[in-house]
Amino acid sequence: MDITKLSINQKTTIHWSLPECIDGCVRHKIPSIGIRREKIKEIGVKESALLLRNSGLKVSSLCFAGNFPYLNSNQRRERLDDNRRAIEEAFLTKANVLVIVGGVLPNGDIKRALSLIERGIDELLPYAQDSNIKLGIEPLHPMFAASHSALVTMEETNNLLDHYDSPYLGIIIDAYHVWWDPKLYEQIERSKKRIFGFHVNDWITPIYDYYTSRGMMGDGFIKLKQIRKAVEKAGYEGPIEVEIFNSKLWDTSYDEVLELCKERFRKYV
């Protein structure tokens, strides 16, 4: 894939601050960046917004808000407040989309967590609409159903989107999370016109840690080109984010990582 579509999610270069990552993307002629809230926090959202504007980089997404399931009304209010702050951050940084990760309940109750995720979206969507910020719901791999999100299939996510049918609510398709799904291509088609983001990386084996052993494109099993074409056919024309959680990559030189991302993006995406 042509690198005019390339975006680097900050998670790929985890030890870089936002200024360092902006600088890296500019130096390596990468046109877009996917930013992280924890990195914005380090220097403040106004400073972040200023740096991003001056860099000329497009902001493909802000990661992430959501985490809706709550145990009591205090927690519910805290989550909503935090999610509203995320919308404001997305607005100020001119992010294409705010990525939403559903969240879990500590007792592992999937059905109840899914219902609380829906309730959370009910509450958040009006704020997103008022700020003209799109929310992109990212189904995670089922491996994360206990720890990160009970929402783990594209089908369940599309069911939810059907229910709202809002131009402010769409799906983020991350190859790592969905590649295994026998319904992958039918669900991509079903996501037509509401795909708000596309993330690439690879599935490598063996997994040595469920969170940090994600692979570089081309190193694993995912048919990225095939998925990318399906995503395009479903109407997505936006940036494609490289988002790699990989503890080995994190310990190498990020200038080399960015060059490798470009090379692999051209070849495998």
Chosen residue from 27, 41, 192, 223 binding its own copies by CB under 8 A: 223
89 contacts its own copies (rule: CB under 8 A): no
Backbone φ and ψ of 136, nearest 5° = -110, 115
What does the DSSP 8-state code read for residue 182?
T
The minimum distance between CB 236 and its own copies, in angstroms, equals 21
93: tokens are: 């940084």
Largest CA distance in the chain: 49
The minimum distance between CB 215 and its own copies, in angstroms, equals 10
Chosen residue from 2, 72, 74, 111 binding its own copies by CB under 8 A: 111
53 contacts its own copies (rule: CB under 8 A): no
Alpha-carbon gap, residue 211 to 175, rounded angstroms: 15
Residues near its own copies (CB under 8 A), total: 33
Residue 58 is inside which H or E element, if any?
Answer: strand 58-66
Give the per-residue contact string, 163-182, with its own copies (x = CB under 8 A; - = no): ----------------xxxx
Name the residue type at position 128: A
Q: Segment contacting its own copies (CB under 8 A): 8-16, 51-59, 81-89, 201-209?
A: 201-209
241 contacts its own copies (rule: CB under 8 A): no
Alpha-carbon gap, residue 169 to 161, rounded angstroms: 7
Q: Segment contacting its own copies (CB under 8 A): 88-96, 124-132, 200-208, 254-262?
A: 200-208
Gyration radius of the chain's alpha carbons = 17
Cβ proximity to its own copies, 31 vs 142, nearer residue: 142
The minimum distance between CB 52 and its own copies, in angstroms, equals 33
Alpha-carbon gap, residue 95 to 69, rounded angstroms: 25
The minimum distance between CB 213 and its own copies, in angstroms, equals 9
Whether the CA torsion 214, 269, 94, 128 is positive or negative: it is negative
Alpha-carbon gap, residue 253 to 65, rounded angstroms: 29
The footprint of its own copies (CB under 8 A) covers 107-111, 114, 141-143, 145-147, 150, 152-153, 156, 179-182, 184, 203, 205-211, 220-223
